[in-house]
Structure 1
Amino acid sequence: MADKMVSKHLMNLEKQFASTDPVLQKAVKVFQELDDLEFELGLLDNDETTARRCSWWPLISTLGGYSPAKSEFIDRFLDAHLHTTRHKFTVLQYTPQTNSATLPGTALDADHRLPFYKISREIEQARPGEGSKINSYLELVTVHSNKLKNKLIIDTPVLNPAAENVANTKLRQHVIAISDLVLVFTDLFDTDPEFNKDTIAGIVKHQDTNKFLYVIDHFELNLDENKIHEIIASWQRRLNDFGIFTGQFVVLSQNGNTSLIEQRINNLNSDRSYRVLDALETSIRSVDDVVMDEVESALVSWKERSNATTLIILSFVIMLILFAEIAVGILDLFFDPIIGPAIIVGLIAIMTPLHLLVSKVHAKFIIKQLHKRQKQLNLSEDLSGLFEKSLTFWRMLLPITKPVGDNKKNRKKLNGLMEQTKDLVQALNDQFSRSQHQDYQAHYDLQTEEEY
């Protein structure tokens, strides 16, 4: 079998991180090894890569309610006057051009470098008929702001009861899951509970990821430190009622300190790296825990159906023989030392290709079911590809239900890739610890110089 060519996407990623992030550069190599294994199993096309399942940009997202607090903050933060569509999920991307441009949702759906890649399939799954209307849900806006360099902001639409539907809920859940930092404006909790319950459930589900920063907007007021602490304590108690017990708080006021937001944004590269490594680990685990199990289950169903059909045909043949015995008496021929074995060989010669034909017919129905199952699970792996590779001559005849490649050799490969990923997480931990130590040392040296 020909070796898989290296995806252009992976080559570009490796060049991008060669001088800036050695951990992610090594992660690209692990993705390539996973690609090779999945290609060998028929799960991946030659020009595809598992690295496309996650965005490699650091991602900030915003969640808010009816008030303009969210959009006003974005304008202040980017020092720009944006005219985004409040009912769409808007991805804000840096441009060196001074003029802003708005691109349709198809630009996001088709570009594997950006979030929402192939999201139309998930929308179609959540709400049939809506996948083709991607432009009514998404847009990409380019902004000339240095604060957007090498990062993206996803501005989610306000919770509007008139426009809310299953697809919007699905997109919000997706945004929460893929973001490295989520700025949650507290006016979200003042909206109609009927329409914000799914969003709050998504926050509760991911609250232990430490990605949420709750923004309390009092920009029109001048608040002292004691008042700010009182406001935060009040909101902490209120969010506890929603089942939210973790996350940081910041109060925006005329004299407020936004250093916490700046600090979190400065740490986005590390947050992004952890997210990419988590996606890599999930992809490795899914081969054994999800893909193999799904294909094995399909093979069991296929084998049962094929054998049952063949047994029905064989039973019909036996009934014909019994009728022939009643009519002309031919059973004695089966006991003839020459004719008997010849009849049995002939029967096997007829039933074997017939069983193969029956198996291939049933395989077509199973393949259609696997395509549906793949969409339900939102898998990029081609389940039918591994299934078809498992339809060899002897596997059709013998009681084998394990997929091709489900063996100790490949499990050892997967375990090796998992160990490499864990080593990269450890290296990232060490890298982050060194960075914090250097920041502390620089701060200490500065204080020392000032004292002298």
Structure 2
Amino acid sequence: MPSTADAVQQRLKELESHLEQENPVLLSAVQSFRAIDEVAYATGVLQPNQTFSSQIPWWPLISVLGTFSAGKSTFINHYLGEKLQRTGNQAVDDRFTVVVYSADPISHSLPGVSLDSDPRFPFYQMSHDIAQVDASEDSGDGNRIDTYLQLKTCHSDRLRGKILIDSPGFDADAQRTTILRLTDHMIDLSDLVLVLFDARHPEPGAMRDTLQHLVRDTINRADSGKFLYILNQMDSAATEDNPEDVVAAWLRALGEAGLTAGRFYTIYSPDAGTTIADEHRRARFEKKRDEDLAEIYLRMERVEIERAYRIVAALRKTATDFSHSSMSLLQEAKRRWRRRTLVTETILLALCATAFMIWSLRAGHWHGLAYDPQWLDFFTTVSWGLWGLEGVVAVLVIGGHFTIRRLAALSVMPWLRGQVEKHDPPGDVIAAFRRNTRFWRTVLSGTPKGWRRKRRHAIDEVLQNCENYIQSLNERFTNPRGLPDKPRQAATPGNDTESVSA
């Protein structure tokens, strides 16, 4: 039976096989992740059954957010071309639903554990975070991963090669903290985020918390361009004397929340039962709806481009954080351990020497600045005469040394835990520190085990390759000079370019 580490490597091989034909640049990115893993294994920051590549979804990921009754499920059903999600004016589902393609025409719903245990999908090992949040809220349901997540399959061609996530409503649930934690995680992983609002309830005051989380907390992100803000169910405003006032009210609300730029869409479902009596108004609404839906769907279809850049950005962030955060913390922790151990031993040695001098003076074995040689002869005779005296002294010295080492390592732990919680570095820095302070590790070196020049150079090479990957992606998706298409180059680790077909 294969080990967990072998299973991880097998999944990476399968991923490489898939990407070999689809996107050679991402195939090279997998190999760069392997390079970081090898360094992390050597330094003890990562276990052999783990890989940094499992912390990101490799398939294009689209998330749909918003309040309940904002029409998220209706929007998804229309996009997929089948009624997969339940719809209604009230909250009909309080779980995150991850929708993936299946060749089976019959849709299947799978429990949350199917996502928690499979590194190919988002929310991998999210049960740990859920348990922490639930424990902090004293809810006692940290193991109820199925309460928050589910996986659904759908036989829709629009899902081929991508993953769609339908989120629960923000407004009324007993697990609000956990929902927001999962939402933040989902936003970070997503290549495209659709934020839907309900045109029937233009009441920004009542939605202050929602606007805070969906707008104010996202506009300052480096990837804010992946957010599309959509005012849904605009057909309900068709009966208003001036429906533009509804849009204006929402624009003011979003502006007050900090959104002063970006694309804002107004749509409603073509399958909606609302009938607009005025023919000219209906034509105007349908034209605007179709234009906006077409633009939204085009962004959804082109999400693979965002996915490619997102993965390279994640690779660069992992390499940078590993070098500048994980290894810097580990190196500083080991230096603190080394310094505290040596200083403590020096102080104890000085105290022992001082105590011996004081005892000798009081015993009369020192005469001014001259030491009595008779005392030296006496001490030598007694030492050689008492069997095992040297062994006892050696045991006391060695035992004291390892005790001091252990106590010094324990004294560094609170600082290290605080830094890990503050910076959230990749891998397990605490486990690596324990490994570096085991009794057979020397205390004289301040450099972590495995963090040699060759391995530091390997991380630098990954960062350099990231620049090459970006250039290859630019050449694949753009052609500023307007030259005829020709075979393009995809960077590979250890080899700057490799010819591939566009």
TM-score higher than 0.5 here?
A: yes
TM-score range, shorter chain: 0.7 to 0.9
Output the amino acid matched with 2:16.
Answer: E
- Partner residue, 1:141: 152
The aligned runs of 1:436-447 (5 Å cut-off) are none
User: Is contact 1:211–1:247 with CA below 8 Å preserved after alignment?
Assistant: no
- The 2-side partners of 1:238 and 1:122 are apart by 33
Is 1:283 the counterpart of 2:315? The answer is no
Is 1:383 the counterpart of 2:383? The answer is no
- Partner residue, 1:53: 55
Query: How many Å apart are 1:74 and its aligned residue?
Result: 1.1
Query: How many Å apart are 1:181 and its aligned residue?
Result: 0.7
Structure with larger Rg: 2
Output the amino acid matched with 2:112.
Answer: G
- The 2-side partners of 1:270 and 1:295 are apart by 36
- The 1-side partners of 2:476 and 2:133 are apart by 40
Query: How many Å apart are 1:243 and its aligned residue?
Result: 1.3
Output the amino acid matched with 1:416.
Answer: E
* Same amino acid, percent of matched pairs: 27
- Partner residue, 1:429: 474
- The 2-side partners of 1:269 and 1:107 are apart by 24
Query: How many Å apart are 1:380 and its aligned residue?
Result: 4.7
- Partner residue, 2:161: 150
The aligned runs of 1:32-431 (5 Å cut-off) are 32-83=34-85, 86-128=93-135, 131-187=142-198, 190=204, 191-206=206-221, 208-218=223-233, 220=235, 235-253=250-268, 254=270, 255=286, 256-257=289-290, 258-307=293-342, 309-311=344-346, 313-314=348-349, 317-318=352-353, 320-322=355-357, 324-325=359-360, 327-330=362-365, 339=376, 350-363=396-409, 366=412, 374=420, 377-391=423-437, 396-398=442-444, 400-431=445-476
Query: How many Å apart are 1:176 and its aligned residue?
Result: 1.3
- The 2-side partners of 1:124 and 1:330 are apart by 68
1:104–1:207 Cα change, 3 Å: same
User: Is contact 2:104–2:155 with CA below 8 Å preserved after alignment?
Assistant: yes
- The 1-side partners of 2:366 and 2:82 are apart by 93
Q: CA RMSD in A?
A: 3.8
1:92–1:378 Cα change, 3 Å: farther
State the Cα deviation string for residues 274-300 of structure 1 (Å, max 9, x = none).
Answer: 111111001100122101221123223
Larger % of helix: which? 1
Deviates more, 1:133-142 or 1:275-284: 133-142
Query: How many Å apart are 1:87 and its aligned residue?
Result: 1.3
Residue 120 of structure 2: SS of its match in structure 1? coil
Query: How many Å apart are 1:201 and its aligned residue?
Result: 3.3
Deviates more, 1:294-303 or 1:56-65: 294-303
- In the alignment, structure 2 segments of 5+ residues that lack a partner are 87-91, 271-285, 384-389, 486-502
- The 1-side partners of 2:192 and 2:372 are apart by 80
Residue 217 of structure 2: SS of its match in structure 1? helix
Query: How many Å apart are 1:112 and its aligned residue?
Result: 0.5
Query: How many Å apart are 1:353 and its aligned residue?
Result: 4.9
- The 1-side partners of 2:101 and 2:442 are apart by 55
Output the amino acid matched with 1:293.
Answer: S
- The 1-side partners of 2:299 and 2:372 are apart by 86
How many corresponding residue pairs?
432
TM-score (ref. length: structure 1)? 0.82
- The 1-side partners of 2:372 and 2:473 are apart by 76
User: Is contact 1:164–1:195 with CA below 8 Å preserved after alignment?
Assistant: no
User: Is contact 1:184–1:213 with CA below 8 Å preserved after alignment?
Assistant: yes
TM-score (ref. length: structure 2)? 0.74
User: Is contact 1:93–1:148 with CA below 8 Å preserved after alignment?
Assistant: yes
1:130–1:415 Cα change, 3 Å: farther
- The 2-side partners of 1:48 and 1:174 are apart by 20
1:105–1:327 Cα change, 3 Å: same
- The 2-side partners of 1:87 and 1:434 are apart by 45
1:329–1:350 Cα change, 3 Å: farther
User: Is contact 1:232–1:249 with CA below 8 Å preserved after alignment?
Assistant: no
Residue 205 of structure 1: SS of its match in structure 2? coil
User: Is contact 2:43–2:448 with CA below 8 Å preserved after alignment?
Assistant: no
- Partner residue, 2:275: none
Output the amino acid matched with 1:95.
Answer: S
- In the alignment, structure 1 segments of 5+ residues that lack a partner are 441-452
User: Is contact 1:120–1:134 with CA below 8 Å preserved after alignment?
Assistant: yes
User: Is contact 1:173–1:199 with CA below 8 Å preserved after alignment?
Assistant: no
User: Is contact 1:359–1:396 with CA below 8 Å preserved after alignment?
Assistant: no
- Partner residue, 2:387: none
Deviates more, 1:241-250 or 1:322-331: 322-331
Query: How many Å apart are 1:426 and its aligned residue?
Result: 0.8
Output the amino acid matched with 2:356.
Answer: I
- The 2-side partners of 1:348 and 1:417 are apart by 48
Query: How many Å apart are 1:15 and its aligned residue?
Result: 0.2
Deviates more, 1:35-44 or 1:235-244: 235-244
User: Is contact 1:250–1:260 with CA below 8 Å preserved after alignment?
Assistant: no
User: Is contact 2:97–2:150 with CA below 8 Å preserved after alignment?
Assistant: yes
User: Is contact 1:169–1:199 with CA below 8 Å preserved after alignment?
Assistant: no
- The 1-side partners of 2:465 and 2:371 are apart by 63
Deviates more, 1:109-118 or 1:332-341: 332-341
Residue 143 of structure 2: SS of its match in structure 1? helix
- Partner residue, 1:24: 26
